[in-house]
Every structure is written in structure tokens, then in C-alpha cells.
Amino acid sequence: MTVSVHTNNSAMVALQQLNKTNEQLEQVQTRINSGFKVNGAKDNASIWAVAQGQRADVGALAAVKMSLDRATSISDVSLAAGESVSDLMLQIKEKVVAAMDPSISPESRTVLNADYKSLLRQISSITNNAQFDGANILNGSLTASIQFLANADANAFVTLGVKNLSLGGAIVTMAATSSINTVTNATAVLAQLNASITNVNLAMGDLGAQAKQIENHNTFVSKLTDVLNSGIGNLVDADLAKESARLQALQVQQQLGAQALNIANTAPQVILSLFK
């Protein structure tokens, strides 16, 4: 091997190895600092692209979950209001049946009629106030069902149907102006009331089924989001235990490489001994 002061092959090899060790050490430190083994497209273009696509789906599912949460809130408010209306109708039936008694005094009939009208006003108040975020499916303000997002592509939906519980409607057939001030009127109201009770119970049963569907789908979206996040983690998360071991090994290699370079740099000094 040629001994030269211009070219030190041993030093160049040692420097190349030290630079390689330093690059690996920097990479490991980045992984430890960030927690990711793939921080960007430069680290691994294909895996980064797949992970970015999955992150986009997770973001879209967050919007889906927000929509379903709103659906849950609207249905919960509506169910609570509908159940209250059903309870009031049971109280109304007590007043109506009592008003059908021909033996009661005119004063008592007047009181029963006042109670009846008060209960009707309570039904109207409940249905008009059963809203969440401006949506009310019980007072007739909406004529079409509400659709909520069901998937990340926004091309599938879950539906919450309108249930108009307004007085004089298709479900609650007693008019707001109805009365039970006579036996005849009370008899007519009873027929409407019995039909209304059945209608309300059916409407609430259907609404409850829709609410359960929304709840189940919301749970599925949450689980799907967790699975996608786990999949992203499998692709890009760093194994910190492994990286810690690599860090220690590379630190030792760095020190040895620096020493090797130092030894290689002193090799040309041997030439001085030849000229003494």
C-alpha cells in the first residue's frame, strides 16, 4: 500500500463510516423525539401515503360522528317530549271519562273542562319546545325526515323521521279548541283520544327504533375510528424500546468511529520518521 500525505484511504473510510453512523443516530433520535418511524414521505413514501389516506378517513369519520351525535341529541329530546305527551294523554283520559258521567254537577264539569284544556296546552308547549340545535321533529315545523351522515364518503345516511304531535294533527287528533263541557262532547273526544294514544305510542315506538339505530351506528363509527387509528399506528409508530436499544448501540459506534478516524488521521505522521 502506498504511503502518502495527499491521500489517506484509512481516514476516508473511517469518515464515511462515522458519517453513516451519525445519519443513523440522527434518524433514531428523530424517531424517539416524534414517536414515529415514518415522519414524512422522505422516510418511506408508500407507507406515508397509505397512512395519510387513513388519516383522511379518520378526519371524515370525526365529521360523521359529530352528525350522529347531533342526531342522538335530537332523538333523545324528542323521545323525552313524546313520552311526556303520552303521560299527559293518560291524565286527559281520566278527565274525559269523568266528564262522561251524567250525574256530575255543572260546576264540576266546568272544572274538568278547564283541566282538560290545561293539559292540551301543556301538550302544545312540550311539542313546541322539543328542539335541539334548531331542529324540532314534533311540532310540524319540518315536513321531511332529517338525514345524518353515515360514512366517510358522505354518500350514505341514517334518517330520523318527523312525528308531528301537534293538536289536531294526524297523530294527536284532538283539536286545541275541543272541550268536554258536555257528555256528548266528552264522548266524541274519548274516541279521538283513544286513537291518539295508540298513534302516539306507535310514533314513539318508531322513533325509539330509529334512535337505537343511530346509537348503534354511532358506536360502530367510534369503533371503526379506533381501528383505523390503530392501523395508522401500526404503519408509522416507532417501537421506542427498540429505538432506545439502537440509540445506545449507535452512540458506542459513534465514539468508536471518532477514535478510528483519529487513529487514521495520525497515520501519515509515520512518514516523518522516515526522514529523520
- Eight-state DSSP code of residue 268: G
66 part of a folded domain = no
174 part of a folded domain = yes
Sign of CA dihedral 218, 220, 225, 226: positive
35 part of a folded domain = no
Q: pTM for the whole thing?
A: 0.79
Cβ count near 98 (within 10 Å) = 17
Give the C-alpha distances (Å, rounded to integers) separating 120 from 7, 149, 208.
103, 36, 24
243 part of a folded domain = no
Cβ count near 180 (within 10 Å) = 28
Residue 276 is predicted with a pLDDT of 65
Cell triple for 59: 378526519
Residue 2 is predicted with a pLDDT of 66
Please, are residues 228 and 54 in contact by the beta-carbon 8 Å criterion?
yes
Reading phi first (left if > 0) and then psi (alpha if -120 to 50, else beta), residue 240 is in: alpha
Residue 56 is predicted with a pLDDT of 94
> What's the whole-number average pLDDT of the chain?
90
115 part of a folded domain = yes
Instruction: Give me Rg for the CA atoms of the chain.
Output: 39
User: CA 76 to CA 70: how far, in whole Å?
Assistant: 10
Number of domains in the chain: 1
145 part of a folded domain = yes
- Eight-state DSSP code of residue 6: S
Q: 262 phi and psi, to 5 degrees?
A: -65, -45
Q: In the chain, which residues have pLDDT < 50?
A: none
Give the range of the structural domain holding residue 131, as residue numbers without chain letter.
Answer: 76-227
138 part of a folded domain = yes
Taking CA 138 as the corner, what is the angle to CA 133 and CA 141, rounded to the nearest 5 degrees? 70
Please, are residues 86 and 204 in contact by the beta-carbon 8 Å criterion?
yes
Please, are residues 146 and 159 in contact by the beta-carbon 8 Å criterion?
yes
Residue 227 is predicted with a pLDDT of 95
Taking CA 220 as the corner, what is the angle to CA 215 and CA 223, rounded to the nearest 5 degrees? 130
240 part of a folded domain = no
Please, are residues 204 and 80 in contact by the beta-carbon 8 Å criterion?
no
Residue 192 is predicted with a pLDDT of 96
The CATH number of the domain holding residue 84 is 1.20.1330.10
Cell triple for 61: 369519520
Query: Which residue type does 74 have?
Result: I
User: CA 28 to CA 22: how far, in whole Å?
Assistant: 10
